[in-house]
Each structure stands twice: as structure tokens, then as C-alpha cells.
């Protein structure tokens, strides 16, 4: 277990030698903070399946009604 700790410390030392700390600009940090803390005003539009279903059902109902009326009209004349 002691060797694992030594491995981690040697990895950290190597990373410290390769990576150099960066000090971001203050305006960038402030802008990033605002963008992360303020909730965005984005809305997701949901498809209106109900509206489409009502239109298709209405067209189907009108079609069946039209066929039934034609059947009634031509049935009276066939007698």
C-alpha cells in the first residue's frame, strides 16, 4: 500500500511539472460566473400531437358522415 501512495505522489509531481497554473482574466471569470448562476430563458417547444389528432379525427368523422349520407341518399333512390 505504501508503494501506491508513492506512485500517486510521483504522478502528482510529474503533473505539477508539466501543467502550469493559469490565471484567467477577471472579466472572463465574472462572465462565466453569471452564465453559470443565472438560469437561461430557453423554452423547448413540444409538438402538439393533440391538435394533429383532433384534425385527423375530424377529417375521418366528416368522411364517414359523407359516405353515410351518400349511402342514405342513393339507397332511397334505388327503391
Q: Is the pLDDT of residue 79 over 70?
A: no
Output the pLDDT for position 46. Answer: 78
Residue matched to cell numbers 508503494: 3
pTM: 0.40
Residue matched to cell numbers 375530424: 58
What is the percent of the chain where pLDDT is above 90? 39
- List, for residues 44-57, the tens digit of each pLDDT value: 777 888 889 999 99
- List, for residues 1-33, the tens digit of each pLDDT value: 566 667 778 888 888 888 877 888 999 999 999
Cell of 2: 505504501
In Å, what is the CA distance from 38 to each residue of 17, 25, 57?
37, 20, 44
> What is the radius of gyration, based on Cα positions, of the chain?
36
Whole-number average pLDDT of the chain: 85
Amino acid at each position: 500500500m505504501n508503494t501506491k501512495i508513492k506512485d500517486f505522489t510521483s504522478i502528482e509531481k510529474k503533473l505539477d511539472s508539466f501543467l502550469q497554473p493559469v490565471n484567467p482574466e477577471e472579466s472572463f471569470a465574472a462572465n462565466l460566473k453569471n452564465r453559470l448562476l443565472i438560469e437561461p430563458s430557453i423554452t423547448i417547444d413540444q409538438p402538439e400531437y393533440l391538435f394533429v389528432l383532433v384534425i385527423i379525427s375530424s377529417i375521418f368523422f366528416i368522411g364517414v358522415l359523407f359516405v353515410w349520407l351518400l349511402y342514405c341518399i342513393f339507397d332511397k333512390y334505388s327503391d
